[in-house]
Amino acid sequence: MKKILSKLFLLMFFILNVSLLNAQKIKVDETTAKMSQGFKKGLRVVIPGANAKDVEKAWKKLLKDFGGKVSSSKGEIFSDNSTIKSFGSNSVDIYAIVEGNDDESELTVFFDLGGAYVNAAQHGGKYATVEQIVRSFAVDAAKEAVSAELEMAEKALKTYEGDQKKLEKENGQLKESIEKYKEAIAKAEEDIIQNEKDQEAKKLAIAEQKKAVDAVSKKLSTIQ
């Protein structure tokens, strides 16, 4: 019973997490934050359900699409000379910092145009582009995290269903055993009644036989 309750609690936890994610719209905010080059303008997004390690791995994979040289140092991911098509032929350096825990992660990204970092006030079009890049990444990362949770929840559900079938089978076996026990008890009760009748008949037979024994004994004593 404790094992079943534990699995049920885990499933409810997954369902609650998915419900919270569905109710939360992922939003990218402009920010000024500290990174390796000082305090710079960047974009910040919170990714629910995704742990920092998975987000870092996914972000590095995305950076490869921009053709830059990707490296990591002191908690910062750097992509040198990346290319974003809508920016034209000029390359851009991309810095990213991922923080968080197993429940959610915070991704902060900085796009260095070469002296200026992309921001909404000075680079409206470019900012809209990188905002969409960051948001799309965050949505995909969040969906990936929930998909993993869904897979675990489905496995738990299959386990519950298996447990239920076992319980149903056991229930049937127990009922069958009860019926057999009932039949055995009924047969034993009948046998007891018959046994008691047989005992009474045997007592009468014994009494009659004692009379016969006495008669033969007396007969024997008369012989001289």
Residue 4 has pLDDT above 80, yes or no: no
Of all residues in the chain, the percent with pLDDT exceeding 70 is 89
Residue 24 has pLDDT above 90, yes or no: no
Nearby residues of 30 by Cβ (< 8 Å), 6 or more positions away: 41, 42, 43, 44, 119, 120, 127
Instruction: Kindly tell me the sign of the dihedral angle through the C-alpha atoms of 143, 148, 149, 150.
Output: positive
Q: Show the domain range for 88.
A: 2-149
Measured in degrees and rounded to the nearest 5, phi and psi for residue 100 equal 150, -165
What's the total number of domains in the chain? 1
**130 within some domain:** yes
Q: How many CB atoms lie within 10 A of CB 164?
A: 11
**224 within some domain:** no
pLDDT band at 152 (very low <50, low <70, confident <90, very high): confident
**73 within some domain:** yes
Residue with tokens 């490296």: 71
pLDDT of residue 21: 44
Residue 153 has pLDDT above 80, yes or no: yes
Q: How many CB atoms lie within 10 A of CB 157?
A: 13
**46 within some domain:** yes
pLDDT of residue 10: 52
Residue 2 has pLDDT above 50, yes or no: no
pLDDT of residue 8: 52
Q: What is the pLDDT of residues 182-222, one digit of tens each?
A: 999 999 999 999 999 999 999 999 999 999 899 888 888 89
Residue 33: CATH number of its domain: 3.30.310
Roughly what angle, to the nearest 10 degrees, separates helices 2-22 and 124-221? 160
What residues pair up with 28 in beta bridges, in sequence order?
A: 45
pLDDT of residue 198: 93
**185 within some domain:** no
**171 within some domain:** no
**202 within some domain:** no
Q: What is the pLDDT of residues 25-79, one digit of tens each?
A: 899 999 999 999 999 999 999 999 899 999 999 999 999 999 999 999 999 999 9
Own/partner pairs, 212-218, CB within 8 angstroms, 24+ separation: none
**22 within some domain:** yes
Q: Provide the whole-model pTM.
A: 0.67
